[in-house]
């Protein structure tokens, strides 16, 4: 994920060919809500197009920390405007936060398309 022109842009796939706009906000309980938007396909310098949403879906993800259980919870669903619900998942996880003493100061994904 990168911040590009004031929006969050994520690159998906094994070769990061698909660039997806993400709308991210914090809900009233402090959880994160993410909704995917426009999608673009990039391959090299000459192949680039907006991916038609009729062949894709819109993802809605909600992630929050459950103080009672002491775990992070996640819920995600993908819907297509014609086919409806495509898939989703729910679950929980824990995490550790090691110190990053020798981490690079700036990290980017493998691909970064200035075209967005």
Per the structure, the complete domain to which residue 80 belongs is given by 2-93
Backbone angles phi, psi at 54, to 5 degrees: -60, -25
Within-domain flag for 112: no
Within-domain flag for 98: no
Backbone angles phi, psi at 103, to 5 degrees: -75, 145
CA dihedral sign, ordered 101, 104, 108, 110 = negative
Model confidence at 18, pLDDT cuts 50, 70, 90, reads confident
Within-domain flag for 109: no
Within-domain flag for 116: no
Within-domain flag for 31: yes
The pTM (predicted TM-score) of the whole model is 0.74
pLDDT at 112 over 60: no
The first and second tokens of residue 20, run together, are 């997806």
- What's the structural domain count of the chain? 1
Within-domain flag for 35: yes
pLDDT at 15 over 70: yes
pLDDT at 106 over 80: no
């Amino acid at each position: 994920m990168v911040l590009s022109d004031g929006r969050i842009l994520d690159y998906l796939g094994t070769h990061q060919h698909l660039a997806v706009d993400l709308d991210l906000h914090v809900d009233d309980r402090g959880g994160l809500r993410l909704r995917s938007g426009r999608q673009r396909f990039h391959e090299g310098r000459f192949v680039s197009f907006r991916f038609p949403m009729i062949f894709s879906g819109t993802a809605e993800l909600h992630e929050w920390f459950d103080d009672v259980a002491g775990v992070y919870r996640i819920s995600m669903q993908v819907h297509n405007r014609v086919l409806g619900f495509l898939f989703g998942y729910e679950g929980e996880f824990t995490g550790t936060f090691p110190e990053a003493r020798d981490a690079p100061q700036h990290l980017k994904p493998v691909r970064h398309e200035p075209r967005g």
